[in-house]
Amino acid sequence: MEIDLSDAKKTIERYRDKKGALIPLLQEIQDTYGYVSKEAVELVSKELSIYPVKIYGVLTFYTQFYLTPRGRHTIRVCQGTACHVMGGKELLDYLSDKLGVSEGETTADGTFSLERVACLGCCGIAPVIVVDEDFHGRCTIKNLDVLLDSYKSEGAE
């Protein structure tokens, strides 16, 4: 599928004469498209005369950037110490098996992306997962199924 890069072009124009603006430029492109595509990298490279290797260097250094399309919902499973002790690893393994994806991947139907994160700062309710912006504490494998179904049907509306 061909990507319409007209918004990316407008963004590049706004950053064209700003020094050291590669990171905010890439952030804005990601905000628009949900990820930074190969085509967007090529466009930035061509328009701003920056080697693609430098752009990919930034994109792969900062974990905030995605190089592939994201799912409608992003599930982040905390793997900090408290969550790990309380079963966070089992939750991550369960989700990985159930969704058929590894960390950093998106389900084939585009519904969920799965990620691991370090301590989310709410260890008192470990183990914690975050779906999009919603925190879910004291998660169990049992309530994960209910949670997944609710987000699935939400996206189907």
- Contact residues toward ligand FES (CB under 6 A) are 78, 80-83, 119-123, 126, 128
CA distances from 61 to 23, 55, 66, 123 (A): 11, 10, 11, 27
**CA pseudo-torsion sign 30, 35, 36, 40:** negative
Alpha helix positions (H), 66-116? 81-85, 88-99
Nearer residue to ligand FES within complex by CB, 56 or 135: 135
What end-to-end distance do the CA atoms of the chain give, in Å? 25
Nearer residue to ligand FES within complex by CB, 83 or 148: 83
Q: To the nearest whole angstrom, how small is the minimum distance from the Cβ of residue 92 to ligand FES?
A: 12
Q: To the nearest whole angstrom, how small is the minimum distance from the Cβ of residue 123 to ligand FES?
A: 3
**Amino acid making up residue 27:** Q
Q: To the nearest whole angstrom, how small is the minimum distance from the Cβ of residue 119 to ligand FES?
A: 3
Q: To the nearest whole angstrom, how small is the minimum distance from the Cβ of residue 135 to ligand FES?
A: 9
Nearest to 127 by CA among 135, 139, 115, 116: 139
Nearer residue to ligand FES within complex by CB, 69 or 121: 121
Minimal CB distance to ligand FES: which residue?
A: 80
